[in-house]
């Protein structure tokens, strides 16, 4: 195909894209067009790249696979440069039992980043004082935690363990070729109706029902919801439980940066990458219906906007959130309007500071006593959710030049100069990344379908259960399987009840 490139960072101007597509289609023989399935994927974050990878595995080498990306490959898997080093700026930590991310790293020639084992100290700050500070000895930390929170700690650990075990069922389901049309289907396969219901009630309600102490919820549970989703314990229980898994031990990141997973998955998928913003999808009429992807050009000097068709596809996968402030796609000529994405995304601002934290503002006389990971349990005078040391993406034990931490502050709003002046005694460099980060979970959350219309799929429905790299990778594989099963009429592999094989 003329003028197409594989993913390695080569840009194509929208004009060339239009031209190449036009020329391609004019030249394409009737037979080719009939035999090879044409698939267009919008978005090259972990959702779009994992889906493309699995689509190629399923549909084989003849499938025509095009990926459109408006920004950078990786999307919310992104990095920021500060103080001469590179740090994760979006999705950072991965749970050890997240098997898709583990498989990707193993199969794509990547590796886990080393974790600093010394110099880290965690503290829970309630806006006035520290309600808990980690000791340098883990046994002492555990004893202190147990003393303060008692059996709630063990109970919660067990509950999160069960969630993670149940979550793992989806790998078996997918490995057996089964796909679900809805997010409810996936949650059902993991943990039955109970898991669907967890998206309809708040985390605080569920914990209260299970007898957890108010103090435990206000401290331990609150920090997880705030640091992982910038939200409170009134968020939905399923996403809330996922946030609790995100403060467990053994969390890891990819050496060199998480976003490499996306670029390598795209390379493996052998998709053709177009660096273009898709502005709409039009349902093509005729004997063999399909979809047209529409690219809008930037306005010309007179303010006129022109749009052109980038390609015609049998299958389209939308791999970006369609919610307010995120992607605004226009759907044309569909028999039923596709517009139902009202729920808002949550703003989280990540501020990176190469400088000195004002430990006195947190009540300490010496720097050594002050925690390097301050997780807040409630809103506070600093206006922050957390402030913590962050290590470069190429951190390696024994390599001192890779070990420079910077401070990463999470807040709901951008911090003012005054606020930064209170938090830090000196700042050599400051960088701000302002994210519409993940759904604002306000139960009951609406769980929509992965299929918006025959042949038109939407991965990011899955984020309304919980937003995480693994969750979206689950959505990506599920969507690839769903598209394949539907295309080939494999109805017994769609929404099938899954019974794991037993020894008997």
Ligand X SMILES: Cc1cc2nc3c(=O)[nH]c(=O)nc-3n(C[C@H](O)[C@H](O)[C@H](O)COP(=O)(O)OP(=O)(O)OC[C@H]3O[C@@H](n4cnc5c(N)ncnc54)[C@H](O)[C@@H]3O)c2cc1C
Residue numbers at the binding site for ligand X (CB under 6 A): 42-48, 68-71, 75-77, 90-94, 277-278, 319-320, 327, 348, 350, 435, 437-438, 460, 463, 467-469, 472
How far apart are alpha carbons 432 and 414 in whole angstroms? 8
Find the shortest distance in angstroms from Cβ 47 to ligand X: 3
How far apart are alpha carbons 27 and 22 in whole angstroms? 9
Find the shortest distance in angstroms from Cβ 427 to ligand X: 21
Find the shortest distance in angstroms from Cβ 82 to ligand X: 15
Which residue is listed with tokens 């040391």? Answer: 389
How far apart are alpha carbons 53 and 62 in whole angstroms? 14
Find the shortest distance in angstroms from Cβ 320 to ligand X: 4
Find the shortest distance in angstroms from Cβ 351 to ligand X: 11
How far apart are alpha carbons 438 and 368 in whole angstroms? 35
Find the shortest distance in angstroms from Cβ 500 to ligand X: 26
Both tokens of residue 166? 């149940």
CB-nearer residue toward ligand X: 43 or 383:
43
Find the shortest distance in angstroms from Cβ 104 to ligand X: 13
Number of other CB atoms surrounding residue 467 within 10 Å = 24
Find the shortest distance in angstroms from Cβ 410 to ligand X: 7
How far apart are alpha carbons 356 and 155 in whole angstroms? 38
CB-nearer residue toward ligand X: 327 or 377:
327
CB-nearer residue toward ligand X: 63 or 227:
227
Going through 204-256 in order, the beta strands assigned E by DSSP cover none
How far apart are alpha carbons 211 and 217 in whole angstroms? 10
**Residue 252 per-residue DSSP state:** B
Which residue is listed with tokens 């978005």? Answer: 43
Which residue is listed with tokens 């003028």? Answer: 3
CB-nearer residue toward ligand X: 461 or 496:
461
CB-nearer residue toward ligand X: 46 or 409:
46
Please work out, in degrees rounded to the nearest 5, the angle formed at the alpha carbon of residue 443 by the alpha carbons of 349 and 464: 60
CA torsion through residues 279, 468, 269, 487, sign:
negative
How far apart are alpha carbons 148 and 142 in whole angstroms? 10
Find the shortest distance in angstroms from Cβ 186 to ligand X: 15
CB-nearer residue toward ligand X: 265 or 496:
265
**Which residues, including other chains, have CB under 8 Å from residue 145's CB and lie 6 or more apart?**
132, 153
Number of other CB atoms surrounding residue 9 within 10 Å = 11
CA atoms within 13 Å, Cβ hemisphere of 151: 2
CB-nearer residue toward ligand X: 75 or 455:
75
SS3 85: strand
What is the 3-state composition of the chain as percent helix, strand, coil, each rounded to the nearest 5? 35, 25, 40
SS3 102: helix
Find the shortest distance in angstroms from Cβ 284 to ligand X: 19
- Are residues 275 and 256 in contact, defined by beta-carbon separation less than 8 angstroms? no
Instruction: Note if the bond before 120 is cis, omega within 30 degrees.
Output: no
CB-nearer residue toward ligand X: 106 or 488:
106
CB-nearer residue toward ligand X: 236 or 348:
348
CB-nearer residue toward ligand X: 180 or 274:
274
Find the shortest distance in angstroms from Cβ 71 to ligand X: 3
CB-nearer residue toward ligand X: 43 or 257:
43
């Amino acid at each position: 195909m003329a003028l197409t490139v594989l993913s390695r960072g080569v840009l194509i101007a929208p004009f060339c894209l239009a031209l190449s597509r036009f020329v391609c289609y004019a030249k394409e023989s009737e037979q080719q067009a009939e035999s090879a399935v044409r698939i267009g994927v919008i978005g090259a974050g972990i959702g779009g790249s994992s889906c493309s990878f699995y689509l190629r595995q399923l549909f084989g080498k003849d499938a025509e696979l095009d990926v459109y990306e408006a920004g950078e490959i990786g999307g919310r898997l992104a990095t920021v440069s500060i103080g001469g080093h590179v740090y994760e700026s979006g999705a950072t930590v991965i749970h050890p039992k997240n098997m898709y991310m583990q498989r990707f790293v193993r199969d794509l020639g990547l590796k886990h980043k080393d974790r600093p084992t010394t110099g880290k100290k965690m503290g829970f700050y309630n806006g006035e004082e520290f309600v808990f500070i980690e000791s340098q000895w883990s046994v002492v930390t555990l004893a202190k935690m147990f003393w303060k929170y008692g059996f709630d700690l063990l109970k919660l650990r067990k509950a999160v363990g069960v969630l993670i075990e149940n979550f793992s069922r989806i790998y078996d389901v997918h490995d057996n070729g089964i796909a679900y049309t809805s997010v409810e289907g996936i949650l059902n396969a993991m943990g039955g109706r109970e898991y669907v219901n967890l998206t309809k009630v708040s985390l605080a309600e569920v914990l209260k029902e299970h007898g957890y102490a108010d103090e435990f919820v206000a401290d331990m549970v609150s920090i997880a919801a705030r640091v992982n989703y910038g939200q409170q314990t009134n968020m939905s229980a399923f996403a809330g439980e996922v946030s609790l898994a995100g403060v467990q031990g053994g969390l890891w990141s990819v050496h060199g940066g998480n976003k490499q997973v996306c670029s390598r998955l795209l390379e493996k998928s052998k998709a053709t990458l177009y660096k273009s913003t898709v502005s709409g999808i039009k349902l093509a009429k005729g004997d063999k219906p399909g979809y047209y992807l529409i690219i809008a050009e930037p306005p010309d000097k007179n303010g006129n906007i022109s749009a052109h068709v980038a390609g015609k596809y049998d299958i389209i996968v939308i791999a970006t959130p369609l919610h307010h402030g995120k992607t605004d796609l226009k759907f044309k000529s569909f028999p039923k309007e596709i517009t139902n994405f009202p729920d808002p995304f949550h703003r989280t601002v990540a501020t990176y500071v190469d400088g000195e934290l004002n430990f006195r503002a947190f009540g300490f006389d010496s720097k050594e006593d002050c925690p390097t990971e301050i997780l807040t349990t409630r809103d506070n005078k600093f206006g922050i959710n957390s402030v913590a040391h962050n290590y470069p993406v190429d951190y390696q034990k024994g390599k001192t030049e890779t070990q420079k931490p910077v401070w990463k502050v999470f807040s709901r709003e951008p911090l003012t100069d005054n606020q930064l002046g209170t938090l830090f005694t000196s700042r050599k460099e400051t960088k701000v990344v302002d994210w519409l980060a993940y759904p604002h979970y306000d139960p009951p959350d609406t769980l929509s379908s992965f299929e918006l219309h025959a042949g038109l799929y939407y991965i990011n429905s899955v984020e309304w259960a919980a937003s995480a790299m693994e969750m979206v990778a689950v959505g990506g594989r599920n969507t690839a399987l769903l598209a394949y099963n539907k295309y080939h009429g494999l109805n017994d592999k769609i929404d099938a009840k899954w019974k794991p094989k037993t020894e008997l």
